[in-house]
């Protein structure tokens, strides 16, 4: 399998401070994972996103405000979200990576794409930065694909709910958003009862799980919730918000996945669309060796070459199994 790999040196100049968990070393860890997976890697530098694509997701005055904030020297946009002068170019190229990956995959009809970008994106709202995110990278790509007449499924396995992505597409019938995330946890959204707005009911599928949840629940969720929903929806493209902060070694969360669990999830997703229709975006993940191992297993999973190990931790809390049952009922209700 060929891996279309997009990253850029400016992402390392997005300076969040020495204390911040969302730091440049995360990209180096992800890159080690990409190159250690054992596939041919085709590296590209993403271009800055076109302004019209960005404004399909974000308000024009918000985009201008981020530009001005970075030009003025940056600082804290909220207690967790930091920008510096280089963050403007980094954010533009992070948002431009997805559309560039789509075009590269269209041209070759071969391989899959992995985007090692900073800042991450799935918390960014239409006119608000939050959760380390400035622009919603995956939403920009999805909106561009929908504008071109295609149906898009987004699977978000970051440990935090992608509130920005869900809010962007809650009323859009051509985008399916599926999230597995720790709850209660930041940002406090992603209830199982959230199913999408009028005319788009069923296009939001949330699986909120309790602290201490392990790979047994995540693998069952893929089999009983994610795969049935995506199959029934019938996407042309599958985009993955790949946070690796649900790993048991991650310092910011309390989920107990191991790297092989990411390989399993990727292997199941690869059954739903051809690999050259899958684009994976780096979101969270703050333990460097865990990022490296999990990125490699993700790519092997997409290629069908992951190590078929059972979940290494379990059993999971009863509340997580109950949440899984609720999500499965929602899928059955809307997708049959």
- Tell me which residues are annotated as active site: 123
Q: What is the token pair recorded at 321?
A: 């199994």
DSSP classification of residue 310: P
Report d(CA 183, CA 137) in Å as an integer. 23
Q: Can you tell me the distance from the alpha carbon of 147 to that of 102, in angstroms, rounded to the nearest whole number?
A: 14
d(CA 268, CA 247): 19
Q: How far is CA 47 from CA 9, 83, 101, 152, 228, in A?
A: 12, 20, 10, 22, 35
Task: Give how far Cα 333 sits from Cα of 68, 194, 195, 228, 229, Å.
Answer: 47, 13, 11, 12, 11
Which DSSP helix (H) or strand (E) runs through 242?
A: strand 237-242
**Residue 3: strand pairing partners:** 41, 112
SS3 call for 65: helix
């Amino acid at each position: 399998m060929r891996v279309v790999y997009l990253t850029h040196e400016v992402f390392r100049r997005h300076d969040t401070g020495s204390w911040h968990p969302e730091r440049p070393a995360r990209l180096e860890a992800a890159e080690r994972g990409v190159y250690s997976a054992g596939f041919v890697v085709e590296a590209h530098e993403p271009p800055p996103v076109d302004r019209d694509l960005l404004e399909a997701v974000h308000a024009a005055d918000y985009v201008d405000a981020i530009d001005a904030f970075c030009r003025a020297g940056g600082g804290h946009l909220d207690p967790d979200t930091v920008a510096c002068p280089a963050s403007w170019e980094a954010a533009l190229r992070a948002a431009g990576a997805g559309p560039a990956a789509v075009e590269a995959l269209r041209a070759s009809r071969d391989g899959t794409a992995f985007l090692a970008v900073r800042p991450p994106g799935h918390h960014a709202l239409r006119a608000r930065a939050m959760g380390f995110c400035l622009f919603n990278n995956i939403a920009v790509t999805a909106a561009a694909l929908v504008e071109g007449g295609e149906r898009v499924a987004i699977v978000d396995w970051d440990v935090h709910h992608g509130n920005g992505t869900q809010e962007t597409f809650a009323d859009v019938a051509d985008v399916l958003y599926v999230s597995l995330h720790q709850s209660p946890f930041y940002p406090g959204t992603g209830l199982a009862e959230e199913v999408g707005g009028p005319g788009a009911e069923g296009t939001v599928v949330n699986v909120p799980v309790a602290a201490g949840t392990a790979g047994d629940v995540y693998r069952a969720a893929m089999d009983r919730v994610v795969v049935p929903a995506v199959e029934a929806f019938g996407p042309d493209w599958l985009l993955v918000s790949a946070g690796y902060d649900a790993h048991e070694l991650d310092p910011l969360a309390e989920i107990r996945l191991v790297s092989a669990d990411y390989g399993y999830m990727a292997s199941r997703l690869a059954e739903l669309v051809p690999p050259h229709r899958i684009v994976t975006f780096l979101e969270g993940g703050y333990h460097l060796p865990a990022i490296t191992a999990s990125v490699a297993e993700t790519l092997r999973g997409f290629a069908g070459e992951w190590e078929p190990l059972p979940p290494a931790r379990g059993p999971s809390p009863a509340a997580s199994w109950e949440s899984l049952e609720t999500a499965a009922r929602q899928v059955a209700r809307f997708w049959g």
